[in-house]
Every structure is written in structure tokens, then in C-alpha cells.
Amino acid sequence: MKLTQRIRFAPLVGAIAFLWSVAVFAAVAPTKIAVGYATISSASTTLWVAQDEKFFAKYGIDADLVFMPGSPTLIAAINSGALAIGYTGGTAILGAVGGGTDLKIIAASQGRVLHDLIVRHDIKKAEDLRGKRVGVTSIGGTGWMAAMLAFEQLGLNPDKDKLIVSAFGDMRIIGKALEAGNLDGALVTGNLISQFKRAGFNILGELERVQMLGSAVVVKQSMMTTHTELLRNFIRALTEAHAFVLSPAKRPAVLRVISKRLNISDPAVAEDGLQDLLKRIDKKLFPSLDGLRNIQRFLQTRNAKIGQIKLQEVIDDSLVRELEKSGFNDRVLAEQGVK
């Protein structure tokens, strides 16, 4: 009789278990957010890895990664509410703050210039660049700021030396324009640097040593109070992804992500892009105040209000510091074998 009772009771148990699992799934359903990024280059690797290796999913985030050519366009989308989070350089962020937009930088994966100034083979020194055309992704964006820092390092003045800086909107288009001879130089990143070097193009300056805040996570200030837990999980996911990128053991997986995202078929080209990135990024996601100061120096000549900005108030790294204090950052790096 007991066996019969158990058999009759089994469907009820199954039904309860099913309803319970549905309820649990509903309670932990991923939060959907739109995340914008402004460049299709190795600079976006940490963000791509967070998506493709399912770190966002691990922390209950269903991220829709939206490419928006040019940092100023991305910042405008955040301000309008079309994007919840941006992953972009500090130049457009600071420009927007100078215009009255209330934004906060909550993390950043690099504090040095990711670009190099690639020039035609017949341009050997800084003086040869006078009166020439140089391509960037957007005026007022990260590539433009890298160009300004490059010119400064080389002792060039864009106005006095009649440098023509042109915006092309996409790193891939810049590369094609340089190959076709429509540009004399360009600010490029990652695998494009090594590709142009192998093709006989030259590099002017040593930008990898120059501090500049880039690949920053930016949100409206109000989101810090209304969606704190979501942002905390976003930073956790990004921290794990960043450690994954830095991990020697995970190199094959990172190369697969880069190859897929940049449509690279040659493994050596993908490797070049990754190695260049690893030379320039930091281990932890603390935004660089010095890197933001470098940007402010240039922007204040175009907009005096930017010179009055208290940079410490633009950066809110409380979530990164919270993870640091808890030991999360060091634990994640250790798990990935990063020293």
C-alpha cells in the first residue's frame, strides 16, 4: 500500500518541484542592460570577454553590447537614456562633464595610451609630418586625444605645423584609408600596429608610456544610487574578465574572442593584437586620476570650463575599492595565475 501511495504522490511532487524551479528562475532572471562601446579594436577585449566567456551571465546580467562609432556619440546615448553603461575613453566623458552632464567613471581597464601613431614609410621624423593629414576615429574622442599627446611628445603643434586631423569613425576604415594612401598617418591600436609595421610603415613616438584614461566604465550619477547592486555585479564580471585576459593559461580563449570580434583569420595577427594590449593595460580596474589630468590639460584649451572640473568628483571608484578591500580583486587574479 505504501508503494501505491508513493506512486500516486509522485506526480504531485514533480509538479511542485517544477513550479518551484520556475519561481526560482523568475527570481534570478538576468537583468537586461544596454552597454555601449566606441571602438572595434583590441581596446574592447575585456568587455568582449565578459560577454563571450559568460562572466556577465554569471552575475545575472544580460548585456546587449552596442557598438557606437565615436566616443561623443556614445556619451550622448548615455545622457539620453538609450544606454545604461558606456565603455569608452576619458576624453569624451570629460568633455560632456564640462558641458554640464553629470557622469561618473566607476572603473577603467587602462590608464595609458593604447594607440600608436603610424605614418607612411617616407615619414621618418616628426618634422616630416608637418602639413600632413592624420586620421582618428572621432574629433574629441580617445583617438583624437592620443593624437594630441603624440604631437606633444614629438614637439609638434597642430596649428603652427598645419597638421590636418580628420575623423573616420571606425578603426578599420582608418586602416584602409592609410593603406590606400588617403592618409599620411593614423592613430591605430592592437593588431593594426603590427600589420602596418610589417608592411613598411613607421611609428613616431612612444605612446605606450604616456598616461591617458581609456576603456572606462561610465554611467550617469543617478545610476550609482538607483542601481548599485547591478553596477556592483557589472564590475565583478568585468574584473573577472580582465583577469581572464591577463591570464597566460587563458590566452587561447582570449585569442578566439579577439579573432571572432575583429574578424581575424591569421592567428599571428590576433596574437600581435593581444601582446600589444597586454603591454598597456593595468591589472586592476582603478581609474587613473593622472590619466584624466592629462586629458584635462588639452581639453581646457578648447573649453575653459573643463579646466575648472574637480577630477576627483568625476571618478567614483567606490565599487572597485570595495572589491579590493574584500580581497576579491587579488583572489580573481590569483585564480587566473596572474602575478
Count Cβ neighbours within 10 Å for each residue of 199-237 and write b for 16 or more, e otherwise: eebbbbbebeebbbbbbbbbbbeebeeebeebbbbbbbb
pLDDT score, position 171: 79
Blockwise average pLDDT, block size 10, the chain, 339 residues: 38 47 51 92 94 97 92 88 93 91 94 92 95 90 90 94 89 87 91 87 90 94 94 98 98 97 92 91 94 93 92 96 98 96
pLDDT score, position 28: 57
CA distance 315 to 216: 10
| Sequence spans of domains, the chain | 31-113+211-335, 115-209
Transcribe 147-177 into DSSP letters: HHHHHHHHT--TTTTT-EEEE-SSHHHHHHH
Element spanning 262, H or E: helix 251-262
Against a cut of 0.95, is the pTM above it?
no
* Architecture of the CATH domain 115-209: 3-Layer(aba) Sandwich (3.40)
pLDDT score, position 23: 46
Element spanning 135, H or E: strand 133-136
Decide whether 31-113+211-335 matches 115-209 in CATH topology: yes
Q: What is the CATH number that goes with domain 31-113+211-335?
A: 3.40.190.10
CA distance 232 to 319: 6
Question: CA 76, 79, 85, 87: dihedral to nearest 10 degrees?
Answer: 30
